[in-house]
């Protein structure tokens, strides 16, 4: 039945804009193929991703690939034209580069990486469809003063600000330096992807200009985070350069600041299902720029 024009379409993931703050069960599957679909992940890995919302891989790419990507990272960070580009996000106090977005469109090495079957294969398998790149970025988190990412679900932001309809997206974070338990590595609440946590506040205009430096809107309240952490615990994801974690778009995650001398740099690629392409934002007046949320939906 087609809804009539007067019938409001229900948003199953309401957030911001004064909605009642709450924690609701997720409405959609996590793994969209049950038979494995000929993908690279074995049944135990798929099961683990379904249960925990993430899957760590000790060595996703080889040392020579890591070396090439590290060199590329240094080249990007030293490029003055790129530093002046809106794709570069700098830390508020130190001015150091925090993130560079859309690296798969500005660098051949990262363009090749998003097509690498070791990255895109599991994403296709888990999402049960072709995928396109919703977002790519490198995060630097330099030694001594690399700053944190507060607790959030990426899907909450992508739904509210980018118009992503459902959490049918998978991210892969590939470590380009060693991720220690001390240098600001990723923390995930295993199983938190099964809940949708609405967030207080409304999205201000051009929110991305501040949120990518330090996010305040789109972060859950303390009571919600306490409940989730009590239910699910917190797991720290560590591993050598070349290790990776695939994680569901709705995992509750964050990372602490880095005051060690050891940089924690990673590349982060978001694959979205071609059956889940963006519409109008659900919780913001205007969509974010396409360097943060692509509106070209061509399959990888």
| 3-state SS assignment for residue 33 | coil
With binding defined as CB under 6 A, does residue 154 bind ligand 6CS? Answer: yes
Name the binder of 157 from Fe ion, ligand 6CS, none, CB < 5-8 A by kind.
ligand 6CS
Give the CB-nearest residue to Fe ion. Answer: 154
What is the pattern of x (binds ligand 6CS, CB under 6 A) and - over residues 271-300?
A: ---------------------x--------
Q: Determine the size of the site formed for ligand 6CS (CB under 6 A).
A: 8
Q: Which is nearer to ligand 6CS, 72 or 102 (CB)?
A: 102
| 3-state SS assignment for residue 9 | coil
Question: Quick one: which segment of 67-75, 115-123, 150-158, 243-251 binds ligand 6CS (CB under 6 A)?
Answer: 150-158
Question: Do 259 and 78 form a contact (C-beta atoms < 8 A)?
Answer: no
Spatial distance between the Cα atoms of 112 and 206, rounded to a whole number of angstroms? 31
Spatial distance between the Cα atoms of 211 and 162, rounded to a whole number of angstroms? 14
With binding defined as CB under 6 A, does residue 137 bind ligand 6CS? Answer: yes
Name the binder of 16 from Fe ion, ligand 6CS, none, CB < 5-8 A by kind.
none
Name the binder of 135 from ligand 6CS, Fe ion, none, CB < 5-8 A by kind.
ligand 6CS
Smallest gap, in angstroms, from Cβ of residue 44 to ligand 6CS?
Answer: 27
Question: Do 199 and 21 form a contact (C-beta atoms < 8 A)?
Answer: yes
With binding defined as CB under 6 A, does residue 157 bind ligand 6CS? Answer: yes
Q: Among residue numbers 198 through 237, which ones bind ligand 6CS (CB under 6 A)?
A: 215
Spatial distance between the Cα atoms of 240 and 263, rounded to a whole number of angstroms? 12
Spatial distance between the Cα atoms of 119 and 300, rounded to a whole number of angstroms? 11
Cα–Cα distances (Å) from 68 to 64, 72, 105, 137, in that order, read 6, 6, 17, 16
Name the binder of 266 from ligand 6CS, Fe ion, none, CB < 5-8 A by kind.
none
| 3-state SS assignment for residue 273 | strand
Q: Which is nearer to ligand 6CS, 20 or 296 (CB)?
A: 296
Q: Which is nearer to ligand 6CS, 15 or 46 (CB)?
A: 15
Q: Which of 147, 152, 159, 193 binds ligand 6CS (CB under 6 A)?
A: 152
What is the β-pairing status of strands 88-90 and 244-248? Answer: unpaired
With binding defined as CB under 6 A, does residue 243 bind ligand 6CS? Answer: no
Name the binder of 103 from ligand 6CS, Fe ion, none, CB < 5-8 A by kind.
none
Question: Do 238 and 175 form a contact (C-beta atoms < 8 A)?
Answer: no
Residues near Fe ion (CB under 5 A) are 154
165-188: string of b/e by CB count within 10 Å (b at 16+)? bbbbbbbbbbbbbbbbeebbbbbb
Spatial distance between the Cα atoms of 300 and 282, rounded to a whole number of angstroms? 26
| 3-state SS assignment for residue 159 | helix
Smallest gap, in angstroms, from Cβ of residue 253 to Fe ion?
Answer: 6
Residues that bind ligand 6CS in the complex, under the rule CB under 6 A: 135, 137, 149, 152, 154, 157, 215, 292
């Amino acid at each position: 039945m087609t809804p009539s024009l007067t019938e409001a379409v229900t948003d199953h993931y309401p957030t911001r804009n004064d909605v009642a703050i709450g924690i609701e069960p997720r409405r959609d599957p996590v793994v969209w193929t049950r038979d494995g679909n000929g993908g690279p992940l074995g049944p135990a890995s798929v099961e683990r991703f379904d249960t925990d919302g993430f899957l760590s891989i000790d060595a996703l790419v080889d040392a020579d690939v890591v070396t090439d990507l590290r060199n590329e990272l240094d080249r990007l960070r030293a490029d003055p034209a790129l530093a002046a580009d809106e794709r570069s996000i700098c830390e508020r106090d130190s001015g150091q580069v925090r993130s560079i977005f859309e690296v798969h469109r500005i660098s051949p090495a990262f363009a090749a990486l998003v097509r690498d079957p070791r990255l895109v294969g599991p994403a296709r398998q888990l999402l049960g469809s072709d995928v396109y790149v919703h977002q790519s970025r490198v995060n630097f988190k330099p030694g001594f003063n690399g700053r944190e990412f507060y607790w959030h679900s990426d899907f909450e932001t992508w739904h509210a600000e980018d118009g992503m309809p459902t959490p049918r997206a998978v991210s892969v974070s590939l470590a380009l330096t060693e991720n220690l338990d001390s240098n600001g590595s990723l923390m995930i609440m295993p199983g938190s992807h099964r809940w949708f946590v609405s967030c207080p506040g409304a999205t201000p205009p051009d929110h991305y200009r501040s949120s990518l430096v330090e996010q305040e809107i789109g972060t859950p309240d303390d009571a919600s985070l306490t409940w989730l952490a009590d239910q699910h615990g917190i797991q720290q994801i560590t591993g050598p350069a070349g290790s990776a974690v695939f994680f569901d778009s709705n995992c509750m995650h964050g990372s602490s600041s880095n005051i060690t001398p050891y940089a924690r740099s990673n590349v982060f690629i978001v694959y979205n299902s071609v059956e889940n392409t963006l519409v109008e934002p659900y919780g913001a007046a205007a969509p974010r720029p396409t360097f943060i949320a692509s509106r070209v939906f061509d399959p990888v």
